[in-house]
Amino acid sequence: MSKNIKVDLIIEAARFKPNGYIENVRAYVRRGPTFSDCVLLSRAELIGNIQMGKRVATGQRVPRMASTFIDLIPLSLIKRADRVYITSNGYTNKRDYLNNIPTL
């Protein structure tokens, strides 16, 4: 993802249920020119943000560098049958998939 693209929400870590769906994520939310402190969002809140058109990505915060993040990978929703999956890089195998994100 280009450094010039503004991201509205950055996911730093996730907790998954045994069925492979995200339970909640640790994220940073854009607040004007900077980002919030760490917040927890449920799967439903994350899906809602993506559906509202917010630009959501996974990434890692650079220590002692305020609102600087690296390794940004955009997220999207994939609908298959009656299920919605949250995925990075368009990958899914009947579960949510976030590339290179530590689990909580």
**Is residue 33, in this structure, part of any structural domain at all?**
yes
Domain hosting residue 40, numbered range? 9-74
d(CA 68, CA 44): 26
Q: Is the pLDDT of residue 2 over 70?
A: no
The amino acid at 73: I
> Looking at the 3D structure of the chain, how many domains does it have?
1
Q: Is the pLDDT of residue 4 over 80?
A: no
**Is residue 59, in this structure, part of any structural domain at all?**
yes
**Is residue 79, in this structure, part of any structural domain at all?**
no
pTM over 0.85: yes
d(CA 29, CA 33): 11
**Is residue 81, in this structure, part of any structural domain at all?**
no
**Is residue 42, in this structure, part of any structural domain at all?**
yes
pLDDT, tens digit, 9 for 90 and up, residues 17-45: 999 999 999 999 999 989 999 999 999 99
pLDDT, tens digit, 9 for 90 and up, residues 54-91: 999 999 999 988 889 999 999 999 998 889 999 987 77
Looking at residue 91, its pLDDT comes to 76
**Is residue 47, in this structure, part of any structural domain at all?**
yes
